[in-house]
Structure 1
């Protein structure tokens, strides 16, 4: 896996050194010599990662990072600050303006490549989800409610066999409003999936278990795969920390843990993991909207056709017969004309609800359009389908409908036509035409009745 990396430094020798290290690992390197140049290149080229020097004349790295994160086009590009500064306040300041991490000059090759690998994995997930989201929102565009969700206090689980250090970290987090639970308090990790954990803090120096094996286990387990893992390790144990990043950990904090750095990194990792969760929700919601009728919550015509195709093929290949019930609300136009379209929508929603309550879980209830509904019944011969249609008809006609916000009571009925697959040459058009013919017969026969076309 490779990526395009923007290296920003006002000293050409520094830029060329990083360029050589990155190109040796097959990264594509872009360069910028000052803050404004970096902003321009980032917006035009949209690199996957930005390595940003802090100490630059004119616009320093903090201001550049702040502007990158404020720009919708570049807000989600991971930024790594590269600096000679080692004071924790300088690191925290960078994290607070949106940087993902710091690298200290001279840049260690192992630390650089481990960090690049972790960020590339995050980028791959985020970029794929942004491309696939089907909600109609532009990538990165969030309303105030979503923005608040990203900044909610985190739920943190601390895995450390040292009671003093784990209690100290838990106190730091709780004093900042986060929910923190230690392994020693919980006793075991069996409830991690139900706890809704955002962040796991895992001590590399633990002796009671193998931390890296545990990290790998979390990343292989469905319930914890999306949880961000922050490793805590001694500065002399950077090689194991780098291995943890390769396995899938999101970040590293060196001990002794500084309070400000811990809080800033937890906030950053929580925001990133919730952003990924938000993107996944948008994708799922977009897929749902593509097959769901928004007014009634039933499946739409697109889904109906795909399901009929699959079920009929299964029936033809030796499966049990499939039947369909086509329903139409009687005199629905008069409901709209008399009580208004809002009342008509209420009727459609209530009919949909009664349909759902009177079919089996395996049946597929759809609204192809207008006042027409269809129930696809797998493994169902014609006589059973007729009985089910009659049950639906009675459920609709037996109780009055409340419309106009519950102020009016009206009687609604529906007519239904039933058809069953006839043989291997039967098509969707054939079976729906027979159901439609049966429905027409029910309408002509006086409405509020069920008719079928015999096989």
Structure 2
């Protein structure tokens, strides 16, 4: 499934209609008929996203959202609030309660699905970052401290300078951040000149229709601004632009007739999230580099891999999702060292690590856990996908000879791979690794250069 979504609505017909729409896109849908049921399901089922009706009796959507945000278990789950009240007061109440977006009835299906995709994408990235940061903390690295927060820098990019000036006048008294007006070209030039903005607010149409969307695409494709939030200001109604903007990774949307307080709330939320993710990213990138990175291959080492794999196992146990663990071992590697020397053996390990890394997803864990032994963990992975991935890795190592030194010498190496599946029913890391190791032993015994899967508990 593409993600688990909790629908909370006291009207059964509304839940059924939403479930049909989401299930057709292959989302795993669970339902709650009241606010209290929604809170219980959020804590026990760990959904990736919650779609919450604002007008539920006894405990309305606002109260549910506030409770979700006050609970450490559920505070990170994105929430889409659905309401039939399109007045500004209702929208502001939902945003202040912690809703990520508010959609109005009747729902536009394309916009709903685009918003779902956008929030799930952002949530997946944030979850992976938090997972890695929690591993760092277990290894003894303190998370970067927030300290005193300096004002942020918000860049406004509109079709006309007069429009940008009007936006700034509406916003300046409601936020403490610096507000800068840029043209499209100045926004791109700023990538290479001076400090980057902490957030962009961009009109969907600039000098030409949809030019703001093209600028969004450019910013999200650049390393310097990949993680910088972008809020798109779109004309109403503009469902097609909204869908495209969200699929291009816009962080948020607002209509061009926005209420200043709504814009200020959305700006504060986006800058707060950016600073949180920056601190987590700093913890992961800087805190780990010296202690948990294998200096030869640049991969994670055993000290990082085993605690991180433990978190993957625990999360799978909570969410009941399958995952794959692989142990890979170079065949007859001792003969490489004996015949060509340890320097050549090091070159082989570096090249093999590179080929493995190039054939995995960004969310997969890859580590060197022994001399010529590697560990891979693939979250949210079925048995068939794991088999295909393992064969792809085996072929990637076998298919091309490795050049040794500066001369013409080259050699071929092969991999044996043992695979074990975690089914979310057990969180025994020891047993899982033992099954993968037995599968590797079988692959070696049966002739090497092959993939074997241990199915004893899958």
User: Do both share a fold (TM > 0.5)?
Assistant: yes
User: How many residues get paired?
Assistant: 302
User: Does the 8 Å CA contact 1:154/1:266 hold for their aligned counterparts?
Assistant: no
Distance, in Å, in 2 between the alignment partners of 1:147 and 1:137 is 22
Counterpart in the other structure of 1:91: 91
In structure 2, the gaps of 5 or more residues are 294-300, 305-336, 348-458
SS at match of 2:291: helix
- How do 1:416-431 residues align onto structure 2 when only pairs under 5 Å count? none
1:235-283 deviation per Cα after TM superposition (whole angstroms, max 9, x unaligned): 1222112101111111110011210110011111122222222221222
CA RMSD of superposed structures (Å) = 3.2
1:168-227 deviation per Cα after TM superposition (whole angstroms, max 9, x unaligned): 212233222111111159955312463232211110121258222211111111111111
SS at match of 1:201: strand
1:30-70 deviation per Cα after TM superposition (whole angstroms, max 9, x unaligned): 11111111110000011000001111111111111111011
User: Does the 8 Å CA contact 2:137/2:143 hold for their aligned counterparts?
Assistant: no
User: Does the 8 Å CA contact 1:82/1:103 hold for their aligned counterparts?
Assistant: yes
Counterpart in the other structure of 1:117: 117
User: Does the 8 Å CA contact 2:188/2:219 hold for their aligned counterparts?
Assistant: no
Counterpart in the other structure of 1:16: 16
Distance, in Å, in 1 between the alignment partners of 2:147 and 2:18 is 35
- How do 1:233-272 residues align onto structure 2 when only pairs under 5 Å count? 233-272=234-273
Counterpart in the other structure of 1:398: none
Q: TM-score, normalised by structure 2?
A: 0.60
User: Does the 8 Å CA contact 1:129/1:279 hold for their aligned counterparts?
Assistant: yes
User: Does the 8 Å CA contact 1:126/1:279 hold for their aligned counterparts?
Assistant: no
Distance, in Å, in 2 between the alignment partners of 1:6 and 1:33 is 11
Counterpart in the other structure of 1:70: 70
User: Does the 8 Å CA contact 2:157/2:184 hold for their aligned counterparts?
Assistant: no
User: Does the 8 Å CA contact 1:135/1:285 hold for their aligned counterparts?
Assistant: no
Counterpart in the other structure of 1:156: 154
Distance, in Å, in 1 between the alignment partners of 2:125 and 2:11 is 33
1:230 aligns to 2:246 (yes or no): no
- How do 1:4-403 residues align onto structure 2 when only pairs under 5 Å count? 4-133=4-133, 134-136=135-137, 146=146, 149=149, 153-175=151-173, 176-184=175-183, 187=186, 189-192=188-191, 194-208=194-208, 210-288=211-289, 290-291=291-292, 313-314=342-343
Q: Which moved more, 1:169-178 or 1:179-188?
A: 179-188
Residue 316 and residue 170 in structure 1: after superposition, are their counterparts in 2 closer, same or farther (change >3 A)?
Answer: same
User: Does the 8 Å CA contact 1:154/1:198 hold for their aligned counterparts?
Assistant: yes
Distance, in Å, in 2 between the alignment partners of 1:230 and 1:23 is 29
In structure 1, the gaps of 5 or more residues are 293-299, 304-309, 319-455
Distance, in Å, in 1 between the alignment partners of 2:184 and 2:132 is 41
Residue 34 and residue 107 in structure 1: after superposition, are their counterparts in 2 closer, same or farther (change >3 A)?
Answer: same
Residue 74 and residue 137 in structure 1: after superposition, are their counterparts in 2 closer, same or farther (change >3 A)?
Answer: farther
Deviation at 1:89, TM superposition (A): 2.1
Residue 23 and residue 76 in structure 1: after superposition, are their counterparts in 2 closer, same or farther (change >3 A)?
Answer: same
Q: Which structure has the larger Rg? A: 1
1:57-85 deviation per Cα after TM superposition (whole angstroms, max 9, x unaligned): 11111111111011111110001111111
Residue 27 and residue 227 in structure 1: after superposition, are their counterparts in 2 closer, same or farther (change >3 A)?
Answer: same
User: Does the 8 Å CA contact 2:143/2:279 hold for their aligned counterparts?
Assistant: no
Distance, in Å, in 1 between the alignment partners of 2:69 and 2:138 is 18
Distance, in Å, in 1 between the alignment partners of 2:62 and 2:143 is 24
Distance, in Å, in 2 between the alignment partners of 1:96 and 1:279 is 24
